[in-house]
Structure 1
Amino acid sequence: MGSLSSLRQLIQTHPLIDNHAHNILSRAAASDYTKYPLEQIVSEAQGIALTNATSTLPFHRAAFQLATLYNCSSYDWDQLKAARNELVERDYESLIRRCLEGTHALLLDDLLTDQDVEPFDWHDRFTGSPSKRIVRIEAVAARILSAAVREHTVPSQSSGLSTFQALWETFSQDFSLRISEAIADPAVVGFKSVICYRTGLDVQPTDDGDAQRLLQSFARTISQATGSTPRVEDKPLNDWLIRQTLDLLQAAKAIQPNKPLQLHTGLGDNDINLLRSNPAHLQSLIAQYPDVDFVLLHSSYPYTREAGYLACVYPNVYLDLGEVFPMVSRDAQESILKESLELVPTRRLLWSTDGHFFPETFWLANKQFRDALEKVFVDNVMNGDFTIEQAKQAAVDILFYNSSRLYSLNERPRSETALVSGAGSLSHASPTDALEAFIQANPDVKYIWMQFIDYTATVRLRIFPILEFAKIVRGQRRIGICVALLWMLQDDTVAGGTTTGQFYMRPDLSSLRRNVGIDSRSASATVMSWWKTEDGEPLEECPRTTLLNITNILRDEFDIETTCGFEVEVVFLKPAVSPSTGEEEDWAPIITNHSWSQMTRETRRVLPLLEEIAEALTSVGIYLEQFHSESSPGQFEFILPPDSPVAAVDTLIKARQVIACVAEQHGLRATLYPRPYPFAAGTASHAHVSISPPTKEAPFLAGVLHHYPSLVAFTLSGDASYDRVKSGIWSGGEWVTWGTQNREAPIRKISPGHWEIKSLDGLANMYLAMSAFLAAGYAGVKENRPLTIKDCRHDAATLDEAERSALGITTKLPTTLPQSLDALASNETLQELLGSNLVKNYITVKRAESKKLNAMDEKTRRKWLIERY
């Protein structure tokens, strides 16, 4: 199933793991073209030979493509460099972010140089997952030699070979220790050798017992060692470094995650011996170490076929397709890909950029590789060599999954949930292709629930047979919803507005997940929906659209990427039966011998339920980070993974549904009610929000704090919410403030640009709550608002007025819903950012809801809310 267009789109947009790259230049060095010629992005040549690179086909192609990156109207190299200089000066990090767009993870050989480059973990701000380290073994050896030269008197070679024995023993022990430490280091996922540059790939499988020959090699090397990083290039010693690393890797294979050895092969600059860079020289070594995986880097060009043969006949050999993009022409790139596919299983082909120094090396490599992969794979499909689905699988394996498996990364693209789990499809695929893929992975699903969340946070839905739903996806029919929903309460009462007119639901296939926990016989799935106008435009009052819009303007105006993650707190209740009537009249906690993060005798009885919930969530691609008991009787917390704001809220809603459904199968109620018991802590729905880069955290936080009394109208959206906002019960306190790791502040700072929102519970429409928080932060950044409230390390309620004043703490949180709604009604900034109609309708609904609930007695109101939330 599928189409060529879906294959093209997949190849061009699927996240990738770059399995071999190097550090990017710091901003101070990024335009130092004397030291780092920009021409090196398309050539391995150096010195005078590099001047000829500007007349090559790869260079002209790169210049044409860079003009689009720099938004430059000229392809003249000097003008391109001038445009680049302006970008570097204005916003270097934005250029890097653009160049690394689509990169999920970087595996960095960060020992290429320690000068003028950004540190290893600095690169994490631009990728979807933290970088991992590839350890260059010759650099390790050089550093040990350098230390030995500084700390010991090195004998002269004329003084006799035996005088080097002690130094050799120290060196060999230190080298083995450093490699062993790296093998045990979880940040290290592999090793690399550049022996190809030094003494060639004809590594001797053994030293033939010639210890004296090895000692002589070491003596020559250490005697010639000068400078801070001496060059290790004496064959017996270099061969020993390889063998010793392989011995240690093979010995650790049984107890450590797989950590391959990468070897530079083929193409290189002028200090390489081209004949000895042929990977065929490695055959006997590969055969000697069957338990170690070898990665032949850089397509082994021009020896791609030889490398392909090794990857075909040895199961421990992988071929990396990097560096030739963008170093060779388009025709050569496509030819290299075709040669790689002649013999090599697609599950043993890896992608890398060999990006280094200039961020453009990453951008050009990724762009040109995707283009070549698309051309070759489309041709293969049209020639009948691949089906579309086979080509898709091969593409995502090469771009992502092969590296994830080989390096034991256990990564999954953020934009993807595995089809095999029934969790949906690629968010970047077309809706039709995404639905086809979902159906193929879940042939038993017969019904789709199209869900939408109203302003009372009530989840509403329409159910469609799968064939009818397919018509909606293809645009053959539309589903209209009466606009009265914009003023509707939980019991369908309409609080004003009009009953004339409608809007239309449009499913978001990225949120499509099958239903679990309801009943083993259920053949249904859920999908979230956008609200559209008659003309198909986004409806201003749509909560999901509101959150997407504010996320986009933060990115578009300030290059701020936002991430959200939620903690689901629930209290498990059992029906309380009246002894006189035998009817259910209330709810009671399932356990009472219970406290925070403790495993009591009663808690252990609930463990099967908790594990069933965790397994149900995993089955639909929601991978809990942890779960544990909370403070209130029968209360537990499930921590969800972070994601982009809309996707994170989608996941929250699905997770809550799964938790509630599994509980129902056991005759229980999982409630989000803010404070079920006046004698215990309440139930929140804390959110974690991160902005990247965190450079704007001060004005962002200042904006949030300035608008906090208004935005809590969305985060504490019911009268019952304010019963939880009390000092001393871990609810975030009573004052508008923030504090580093302060759990009695409404906003707990966790790290730069990363906060936890404490004043938030399960009655909130979370799309609107997060929209309000991000909108307030956006306003602060736009106004460059100063952060006048200082870091508070205490519960502000325990401070006296002078102490609070010294910290800039002057405003109390609203203590009732009417107070927060009044603050919102007078807040023109939030109304403008969120949409005046949305805010107006929301206030109308919440005031009507409050009136309805306050007309009930306390017991009836509590039961009414528990049964709905």
Structure 2
Amino acid sequence: MDPLASLRQLVQTYPLIDNHAHNLLNKSNACNYEKYAFEQITSEAQGIALENAPHTLPLQRAAHQLATLYDSPSNDWDRVKEARDQWVKRDYDELIRRCLEGTHSLLLDDLLTDEDIEPFDWHDRFTTAPTKRIVRIEVVAAQVLAAILPEGYSEALDDVTNLRQTFDRFREGFHQEIEKAVADAVVVGFKSVICYRTGLHVQCADDKDDDSRLLQSFARTIQQRTGPTYRVEDKPLNDWVVRQTLDLLQAARTSTPLGPNKPLQLHTGLGDNDINLILSNPAYLQDLIARYPKVDFVLLHSSYPYTREAGYLACVYPNVYLDLGEVFPMVSRDAQESIIRESLEVVPTNRLLWSTDGHFYPETFWLANKQFRDALEKVLVDYVRQGDFAIEQAKTAASDILFHNSNRLYSLNETNSYDETQKPCSRPLAGSSSDEWKAFVQNNPDIKYIWLQFFDYTATLRLRIFPVQEFAKIVRKERRIGVCLATQQMLQNDTVCPEGSTTGQFYMQPDLSTLSRNVGLDSKSATVMSWWLTEDGRPLPGCPRTLLRNVTNQLQSEHGIQVLCGFEIEVVFLRCITNPDTDQEDFVPCVKNHSWSQMTRETRRMVPLLEEIAETLASIGINLEQFHSESAPGQFEFVLPPGPPLAAVDTLLKARQVVTQVAEQHGLRATLHPRPYTHAAGTASHAHLSITPSTKEDSFLAGILQHYPALMAVALAGDVSYDRVCSGLWAGSEWVSWGTQNRESPIRKISPAHWEIKTLDGLANMYIAMSAFLAAGYLGVKNNEPLTASDCPYDSATLSEEERKSYGITTQLPKSLSQSLDELEADSALQEVLGSTLVANYILVKRAEKKKLDSMEEEARRKWLLERY
């Protein structure tokens, strides 16, 4: 494995201990946005100020990410919340399970509120290890007051003797509760929110000579009681509560050689509008920290914006740790990376902790963990590349921050089973395989067979079929399914290229996030896509799905670029007839009186089929955005919803299966043949591609244009594909160019950082094709390529040479598969990203396939392709 890849993998998959979080809302309140505004997942604002949250970068970023979590077709905030509501209603536990994936243990401050939340130990079902408690000391103080002073207490507070007696009862009760918590094995630490109440400038010592200030503070606290509860928020009393807790913790630590170590967490920095931002600076704690050397202090929430001050304390005091929580997802990507960099300026990596500060909504955990892992990966990879960290040092730092530092500090004595062969799931929301499989079986008890599928280099969907009980063994890893490595060098008719070998095999591992019922045919079965693994369980370099996942992750981790893809399925419906003169079967259009976006008498006969396809797709969660007639006889287009690249391609292949299967039920052949008739327009498989942020769109586009001749080898994967790409057919024309809403350029720009790829059709392995386009964009961003071609509003083939030059158009598109394969073979930069083994095998297969097809008569070749695509 590439060393940087192993570092990235570790950061993204290492189990984590969340050292500070809070309870989740119960299901009945999970969508109670009136009381618990969902916008607070990225903002400390409240009330009217919270109305501005949708206009902040953190929330807009969260909307994009949550859309992928919920499989929402839209990033619009209201649509995202609607998708969330559906998830909660359908399976709240599953949503939580997905949001807490990778969390080994939670340390919960369960005294944030006692309303509308799930109990402390309820959270155990979603983590590997049991949940532990963090005790909030101000709440304990308030509870003791309520216990010794029942509602209606009216004794004279100006009687010093009585007040002192009452205070003594309070002190005794508070000590008892803290000591009981110290002795409780489930309690691993304490927390103070004095930062919110009176600020971090805590008085370090009691007034031995005159305790009147403390008694007066105690009296004011009693007088300010509202209803049955107290709120401890008067400075002398608050300072006393912190000092008393520290005294008890230090005493417990020193009472025996193995006295319990239970740190004190303090909220520092960022908070809502009742915090004094000046007094939230952890520098105010320096004297207190020095006074209690046997107590470990945890400065929560990165102390933002005072991260450097907190970092200094964690550097020079051996009893200080810096927690990197809450700012994920509260601040922008750049700020998050800056916070990690500032923390690493002087803080030893064994003094840094991770927490989400997750509360109420499971998405607060998911967003925080996702954004932290991404930012940590970016920073550590940068430092390794610059020679500041060795690979192993960076990996140790990451595992310490995520797991080992908290495990040691809180004396958790946990072990984890991290395995370097483990890989991130194709979708970040995926739960464990056993959970997903169990849920599928429960929801689909009639399913008897599973089709385990993969997509080879000839764009042939291949599969193995297993009875459910046998497939369950694969899920449980009780058996493996080997496939000959020669599949990577095999043609559609199962012949292996002469250069290929029939030695060796790879193994198919099901990706249960793609598990879906088979619909549109009479079969009690389901389909699932697979990963290709080596003998020792590592990802096989030639796996198309792994390639797309890796390139997508590379864009995200190295450049902060997120990608969405969407596809259009153009398909021609044909009838198979027998020619009475030759007794040969032939394919003819199902309708002839037909044109683009028009309803003719013949086209209307197709409406029941089209609606059946739309409804069948919707039954498995693929909701079409639109469908309509296309130009060629019997040609229609189905527009799929956008999604992350891997999920979008998975959806595309599943949707094609459904279209084909429903058509067959009506005696029709649905074909993706790029040019089934020479007298009509061809059939494409246009892809929409968008990136976030749009600030890097020029260099991304420049990379694609620079490598476009080589990209044609995987986008137009057969000679017949090139019959379609010529001027005048709205298929991208003949020159490397781009243009806003220009359908006669290979790249049509639709909006900022959103393009349509025109030169793409159904003969492509879409995993490889999209990987190649993303790889080219990645190279453009990595090398900061300038965009030398300008926005062209014309069909470049109709321009003069001088006119083309004025738009920066200098390169013709390849006219044949041979030309584009030569371009791919010569493009070493693109090969480096895609992998030389995969590219070499792909070129080998496509040249052998071309040779086979060239040997056929034209009509035989046409029928051969119609039967297979």
Q: Fold match, TM over 0.5?
A: yes
Instruction: Give the Å deviation of 1:358.
Output: 8.8
> What letter matches 1:813 in structure 2?
L
**Structure 2 residue aligned with 1:490:** 492
2:466 is aligned to 464
User: Matched residues, percent identical?
Assistant: 59
Give the AA of the match of 2:532. Answer: W
Q: Is the 8 A contact 1:22 1:354 kept in 2?
A: no
Q: Relative to 1, partners in 2 of residues 1:277 and 1:782: Cα closer, same or farther, differing over 3 Å?
A: farther
Q: Distance in 1 between matches of 2:836 and 2:778?
A: 17
**How much does 1:277 deviate?**
11
Q: Map 1:612-631; keep pairs closer than 5 Å.
A: 612-631=612-631
**How many Å apart are 1:577 and its aligned residue?**
1.9
Contact 1:578 1:585 in 2 (8 A): yes
Distance between the aligned counterparts of 2:721 and 2:616, measured in 1?
29
**Is 2:24–2:360's contact at 8 Å kept on the other side of the alignment?**
no
Q: 1:21 aligns with which of 21, 36, 39?
A: 39
User: Which residue number corresponds to residue 92 of structure 1?
Assistant: none
Alignment check: 8 A CA contact 1:741 1:750 kept:
yes
Separation (CA, whole Å) in 2 of partners of 1:354 and 1:837: 39
| Correspondences of 1:115-130 after superposition (within 5 Å) | 127-128=66-67, 129-130=74-75
Deviation of residue 21 (structure 1)?
2.5
Cα separation, 1, equivalents of 2:76 and 2:581: 64
Q: Would the aligned equivalents of 2:42 and 2:59 in 1 still touch at CA under 8 Å?
A: no
Distance 1:324 1:831, change over 3 A: same
Structure 2 matches for 1:423-822, cutoff 5 A? 427-496=429-498, 497-519=500-522, 522-580=523-581, 583-822=583-822
Shift of 1:110: 2.9
Q: Secondary structure at the match of 2:496?
A: coil
CA distance change for structure 1 residues 511 and 799 in 2, over 3 Å: closer, same or farther? Answer: same
CA distance in 2, matches of 1:821, 1:830: 13
Deviates more, 1:709-718 or 1:363-372: 363-372
Pick closer, same or farther for the CA change 1:594–1:469 going to 2, 3 Å. same
SS in structure 2 at match of 1:867: helix
Does residue 1:110 correspond to 2:51, yes or no? Answer: yes
What letter corresponds to residue 540 of structure 1 in structure 2? P
2:358 corresponds, among 340, 345, 367, to 367
Deviation digits for residues 533-577 of structure 1 (CA, Å, limit 9, x no counterpart): 001000000000111110111011001111111000000000132
Contact 1:748-1:755 within 8 A present in 2 as well = yes
Separation in 1, partners of 2:273, 2:467: 47
Q: Aligned equivalents of 2:668 and 2:841: distance in 1?
A: 35
Corresponding letter in the other structure for 1:636: F
Q: CA deviation at 1:324?
A: 10
What is aligned with 1:299? none
Give the partner amino acid of 1:466. V
Deviation of residue 118 (structure 1)? 6.4
Relative to structure 1, the CA distance from residue 859 to residue 275 in structure 2 (aligned partners, 3 Å threshold; closer, same or farther) is farther
| Paired residue type of 1:21 | E
Residue 123 of structure 1 deviates from its aligned partner by: 7.2
Tell me how far 1:120 sits from its aligned partner: 8.9
Q: How big is the shift at 1:373?
A: 11
Cα 1:738–1:366 shift into 2, 3 Å: farther
**What is the DSSP-based 3-state SS (H/G/I as helix, E as strand, rest coil) of the residue aligned with 2:772?**
helix
1:20 Cα shift?
3.8
CA distance 1:555–1:119, change in 2 (3 Å) = closer
Structure 2 Cα separation of the partners of residues 372 and 641 of structure 1: 23
Shift of 1:130: 3.4
Distance 2:530 2:749 in 1: 33
Matches within 5 A, 1:180-199: none
- Counterpart CA distance in 2 for 1:754 and 1:491 is 38
Given that residues 491 and 845 in structure 2 are in contact (C-alpha distance below 8 angstroms), is that contact kept between their aligned partners in structure 1?
A: yes
Cα distance in structure 1, aligned partners of 2:866 and 2:530:
26
Whether the aligned pair in 1 keeps the contact of 2:356 and 2:364 (CA below 8 Å) is no
Does the residue aligned with 1:460 lie in a helix, a strand or coil? strand
Call closer, same or farther: CA 1:354–1:843 in 2, change over 3 Å.
closer
Q: CA distance change for structure 1 residues 325 and 859 in 2, over 3 Å: closer, same or farther?
A: farther
CA distance in structure 2 between the aligned counterparts of 1:448 and 1:513, rounded to whole angstroms: 9
1:608-662: CA deviation from partner (whole Å, max 9, x where unpaired) = 0000001110111111011011111100000011111111111100000000000
Q: 1:555 to 1:805 in 2, by over 3 A?
A: same
Cα drift, residue 603 of structure 1? 0.8
Q: Which amino acid aligns with 2:468?
A: I
Deviation of 1:601 after TM superposition, in Å, equals 1.1
1:131–1:631 distance in 2 versus 1, CA, 3 Å = closer
Structure 1 residues 364 and 476, CA, compared in 2 at 3 Å: closer, same or farther? closer
Looking at structure 2, the residues matched to 701 and 758 of structure 1 have their Cα atoms a distance apart, in angstroms, of 14
Cα shift at 1:585: 1.9
Output the CA distance in 2 between the equivalents of 1:447 and 1:837. 34
Partner of 2:848: 848
Scaled by the length of structure 2, what TM-score is found?
Answer: 0.56
3-state SS of paired residue (1:825): helix
Deviations 1:433-474 (A, max 9, x none): 101100000000010000011100000000000111010011
How far 1:125 moved relative to its partner?
5.2
**C-alpha distance 632-365 of structure 1, shift in aligned 2 (>3 A):** same
Query: Any idea what SS the aligned residue of 1:673 has?
Result: coil
TM-score if structure 1 supplies the norm length? Answer: 0.56
Cα 1:602–1:131, aligned 2, differ >3 Å: closer, same or farther? closer
**What letter matches 1:696 in structure 2?**
K
Residue 777 (structure 2) pairs with residue 836 (structure 1): no
For residues 767 and 113 of structure 1, the distance between their equivalents in structure 2, rounded to whole angstroms, comes to 34
Task: Identify unmatched segments of 5+ residues in structure 2.
Answer: 1-14, 68-73, 80-195, 199-222, 228-270, 276-297, 299-325, 337-353, 366-425
Contact 1:326 1:365 in 2 (8 A): no
Residues 22, 740 of structure 1: alpha-carbon distance in 2 compared, 3 angstrom cutoff = farther
In the alignment, the residues of structure 2 paired with residue 803 and residue 817 of structure 1 have an alpha-carbon distance, to the nearest angstrom, of 28
Give the secondary structure class of the aligned counterpart of 1:490. Answer: coil
**Residues 735 and 797 in structure 2, CA contact (< 8 A), matched pair in contact too:** yes
Aligned-partner Cα distance in 2 for 1:372–1:713: 41
**Equivalent residue letter for 2:661:** C
Assess, with a 3 A threshold, how the Cα gap between structure 1 residues 661 and 779 changes in structure 2: closer, same or farther.
same
Deviations, residues 355-379 of structure 1 (Å, cap 9, x unaligned) = 9889999x988623468999xxxxx
The question of whether the paired residues in 2 share the 8 Å contact of 1:676 and 1:682 is answered with yes
CA 1:592 to 1:108, structure 2 compared with 1: closer, same or farther past 3 Å?
farther
Q: Within 5 Å, which residues of 2 pair with 1:270-309? A: none
Query: Which structure 1 residue ranges, 5 or more long, are not aligned?
Result: 26-40, 45-106, 135-267, 279-322, 331-351, 375-423
Q: CA offset at residue 12 of structure 1?
A: 9.7
Q: Give the counterpart letter for 2:528 in structure 1.
A: V
> What amino acid is the match of 1:576?
I
Aligned partner of residue 585 in structure 1, secondary structure: strand
Contact 1:506 1:531 in 2 (8 A): yes
Deviation of 1:505 after TM superposition, in Å, equals: 0.4
Asked whether the equivalents of residues 436 and 512 of structure 2 are also in contact (C-alpha less than 8 Å), the reply is yes
Amino acid at match of 1:465: P
Cα distance, 1:621–1:111 mapped onto 2, change above 3 Å: closer
Deviations 1:572-613 (A, max 9, x none): 0001321235x4521010111111111111111000000000
Secondary structure of the residue aligned to 2:597 is coil
Secondary structure of the structure 1 residue equivalent to 2:526: strand
For the 8 Å contact 2:710–2:821, the answer to whether it is kept is yes
